[in-house]
Structure 1
Amino acid sequence: MHTIIKCNYGENFRNLSLPCTEREIQLFCDSLALPNDAGTQIRVDHSHNNPQVDALLAGKEVRLDELNYLMKRLDSFDEGEMNTFCAAASGQKLSSLKDMINLTFNIHCYSLVDDFSDLDRLGKNLYLNFMGSVPTKEFSEFDGKAYVEKIMAENMQPLVTHYGLIYENGNQPQQVYNGRTFPAYWYEPNPITLGITYKGDTEYLYLPVEKSELDKALQRLDAESLDAVTWSVEEHSLPENLTNMVIREQFGYSALNQFAAVFKNMGNREVTALSELAAFAKITTSEQLKTLADCMYEFESFPGIHTAEEYGRYMICESGHFEYDENLADYIDFRAYGQDKISRETGAFTDRGYLLYHGYNQEMQNILSQTIGLKAKEMPEPQELKLYMPLNAVTYHDENGYGDLYQVDFEIEVYADELAAYEDEIRSAMQKRMHDGESERGLMKYYGHTDTVNAKVRKYVFEVEEVRGELMGVAVLTLNAPLDAAELEKIKETIEGQCSDGFGEGFEQQEIKCNGKEVYVSLWDAKDWSLKTAAEMGISEQSYKMQFGGM
C-alpha cells in the first residue's frame, strides 16, 4: 500500500504518495521550488493513511531520497513483517532514517510475541522468521510452544511495545546502510542494473533511470562525474543473444540506459519475441538491434519453412486463409503458389525458416539485405489519411442574462459550432495527453499485431478540425503505403477502441478551460457517432503537419 505523507518545506506543504518514481519526486520538488538533489530535505508533517508510519516519522526532518528508499523497503513487507519492524523500531526508540533502513534488513533478528492464545502457531511463525525458510515437513513437526518458551527464557528483559513483546532471537544484526550510499534493492523488475563504484563505495542504478537519478548517485559517492567512477553490469534479465549485443559490447552508459528503456517498455514477453526475431534475422550488433526494436511488429516469421513448396503448403493447408480439403492435395501445385506469393512479398529464407517483412523502413531493409539477403523494395513517400468523428461536449457553467457565468450541478451540452471557438484550447489539451514513448508512432504504439496494418500505418494521433463550421475530432494517420478496404476497417476498429476506452476515456475526464468555463470533451459519446474518411464525408482534407519523432 502506498503511504500518503504531508510534507512541509518552509511555510509550504504538498502531499506525496510514497514510494514514488523519480519523475514524481521531480514534480514534487518543482511544486515547492525545491532542488532535486541528494541532499534535499523536507519535514514530515503526518501520514494521511498509515498510522504506523505516522508514529515513526511525524515531525522529522528527513532527506527525501532516503525517505523514498525506506518506503520502498516497507512497501515489500507483509503484515507480520511490518508489525515486527514497527515494534523493534519503537522498542529501540529509533529516530534516524539510517537506523530504520538498517532495521528493514534485520527484522529476522527479532521475534514479536503479540498473541499468547496459540503458542505452537506463534512459535512456528517465530522460527520461520528466524530461519527465513523451512522445509514443509520440518515446519509441520516443529514444536512451536517449546521454541517460544526457549526465547522467553533466554530474553528475560524483552522490549515492551504496544505491538507486543520484542525479543532478540540470536541472529546478529548487520549494518547494511552506511547513511550515504544505498544498498542494492530491487523494488521492482528492471532490465539492467549497474553498480557504480568510487573510492570503495558503490551505488546502484536500476536502468532505465532519469538524469537526476544518476546525478544524485554521483553526489552520494562524492564523485564529480561518470568518468570518475568505475561501473559494471551487476544484474540483467536479457536473453543470451541480446546480452551479447547489449551487455558484452559495453559501449557506454547512455546506450545501455536507452536500451533498458526500450526493454522495460516492451515487457518480458516482448523482449523474448525480440530475441527470437533477432536470431531469425541474424542480427548481431547493437546498432542493428536498435533498428529491429523499432520495427519488430512489422515482421511475420514461419519457423521450419525453408522452401517455396513448404510455404505454399502451409499457407493453403494450415494458415486458416483457405478452406482446405485434404482430398485435393494431389491437384494443388503448392510450390507454384508459394513461388507466386513470395514474388509479391518482401521476405527471405533463413536457417530458422521464412521471414516476411511487411514494413517500409529503409534502414531495416538495408540491414536485412546484409544479414539474410532480403531483396529491398522501393520506399514510397509517407502519405496522410484523416478519419473524422463527431464530438460531444458538456460544461457545468451557465450564463445569466448579463453574460456572467455561474456554476450548476447538471450537465449543459456545448454544441459543435460553439466548440469551434475553442479549437486551440482543445487541441492543446489533446497534445498534453500524449505520453512518453508516443512521439515515434503515436497511438500505433499500442496496436500490437504483426500484420500489414502495423507495417503500413506508421503513426496516428488525435487532432481537432473545423468542418462546415463545427469542430470535429480527427485521427490523423501517417501511412507508409495506402490501406486496402480490409486494412482500413481494421484500423478504424482500433481507433474506435481508443476513442471509447483508451485515449478518449482519459481525455473526456480532463477539464479544459474555455473562455472562463470548464468544458469536458468526449471523442465517443456523440449521437450518431461514426468514423469516416474525408471522401466519405464529402470534404477535402486539410494538410496536417507530419511529425515523425526521431525519424
Structure 2
Amino acid sequence: MLNITIMRGDNGQEAVLKLPGPYDESEETLSTLEAIRSRDVTTAIISADTSIERLDGILPGMEIDEQELNELEFLARRIGGLCGGERVALTGALELEKPQSLRDIVNLTCNLHKYKLTPGFKDEETMGRHLLKERGIHVPDSIADCVAYDQVANGYLADHPGVFTDSGFVSRNGERLEMVYDGKNLPEPYCDPDGVITVRLNPKGKPNRVTLTFPASCERIDAALEELGVESFDECYASCTSSIPGLLEHLPNYDGLECLNLAAAYLGADEEQNRLFMAVMEAEVPGSMFELPEITDALCQYRLLPEIKTPEDYAHHVLAEDGDRYYVDGFTADFVDFDALGKAMMKENGVALTSFGIVERYDRYIRQLPEELTTLRLFSPLYPQVFTRDEYGDLNWEPEEMSAHELCDYQDEILEAIEKNRLDTEGDRGLAVYLRNALLGRKVYGMNPTVEEWDGRPWGVLEVQTRGELSEGELRELTEEWSGQCSDGWGEGFEQREIKIDQGELNVSFWHSGGDFVIQPEAELKSQPEQRPGMTMQ
C-alpha cells in the first residue's frame, strides 16, 4: 500500500491518494487528478506513507504529471508483491543509489535481484567480528573488548559498499543495473526480468488481466490474485510462455500453476543445467509435478550423454567404454544388429533415451516404461451434415438433418474416409506424433481416430495405446489434446472431407461448439443409463 498526499500549486488544494486501487471520488481528489492530467498546474507530493523505509523521505517534494501518477500506481502494486527480503533490499537500494526521480525508483524495484542481503550484519561491529571469524582469526577473550571491529569492517566496506538495515547488510552483487523502464512503457509490476515462466491470467467472467513471472513469492502471487479479485488460479484462464525453449513441453504442467512455480525455482540462466533438467524429466516421465522435488534434489546423480542419439549409438558407446564386459570382434560386428543390442543394453543398464540424448542415473536405474501397450478409448458425439441434391443434380446450400440411426448406416463410409485422411508420416502412432508435451509423448504410443456404434448411435472414438496407465493429470492433458485436434486440427480437416452417399454428400464433425460436446472414457460413457444429446445437427 502507498498513500500519498499531493498538493496543487495554484490554490494549495490537497488530495490523498490510496494506491493501488480506485481513487476516492471526493471533489478535491477529482479536481486535483483532472489538473494533473490536463497539466494546467504544477502538482507535488507533500507526504507519503509506505511500508518501505526511506521511501517516505524520498517522495515528498517530487512534482508529478500523468505519467508519474502511473508510476506511483506501478510502485504501489510492485511494493505490494514484494516479499520480506525484497523489501529490505529495496530499502538498502534506495539508500545506496539515492534515486532522483520516480523513474529511477521504478527501475530500482526491477533490479532487486542484483542486491543481496546478509542477515545479522546490523552494524560495523557485528560485521567486523564475522569477518575475523571467517578468516580464521581467533580473538582471545582477554583482548576481545579492545579490538576495533569497526575498522576491520571499514576495510571491507571500502571495496564492498552497502547499507546496514535492521535486517542485515544490503549490497550490490556486482551485476550492472539495467534500465528496465525508459519513461514511456511501464513494466508489469508482478514480473521480473529473470523470470523463467511468464503467466498471463484472465479471471473467468471478469475483464481484469494480470501478468506475473515464476518463480514468484507467496506475497507476489497473493497480490496478483487480489488485484484480479479471485482467491486462486483455478478461477482464471491462464496462458504460459517460458524463456527456456522447450521447458513447458517437458513438465507435467497439468497439475496446475502452483506446480509450475515450483519447477521454475530450480531453473535459471545455466543452460547446461536446464538441458539436464528437461532431459531427466523426459527420462523419468513423472506422472505428477509432485514427484519433482525428489527428482531435482537428486539432479547431481544424473548424467546426460548428448552425443548418443540412437540405441545403435549407445551400443557402440558401451562397447568402447566397457570392453571387458561387452566384446564384439571385428568379424562378428558385421553380423550384429546394433540397434537391437543397444535397446537390450539400455534395458539392462537402466538408462533412457531422450530427445536430448541418453540419460543415466548413478545411484539407481531409471524407471523403465512397460513394453506392453495398454488400450484406452475416448468417446465423443458425432455431428453430421447432409447436403442433398435437387432435381437438377446440384447440391443444396443448406444441410439437412440426419438421425443417429441413419448415420449408423454409413459407418463403413466414415471409416473409409478416416483411413484416407491418414498421413504416411504418422505411421502406427497416428496423432500421437503431434503431442506437444514430450513426457506425454513418451508414454502415449498411439492415438488413432475411428467410429463405433453403441446403443444405436455412432460415436467418435479415439483409440489410445499407452505404455502403462495414465495418471489423472495425464488423462486430462490427453483429453484436452484430443479436443484441440477435434476442433482445430485433425477434426477440422476431416469435417471438410465430403463423403459420397446416395442422397448427396455427408460431412461428419467430431466437434461442436455447443454445451453438449463432451469427451469421456469408454467405461464412463457405457455406465450411464441415458445417452447425451448432440447426435443430430442441422
Normalising by structure 1, report the TM-score: 0.33
CA radius of gyration, larger in: 2
Normalising by structure 2, report the TM-score: 0.33
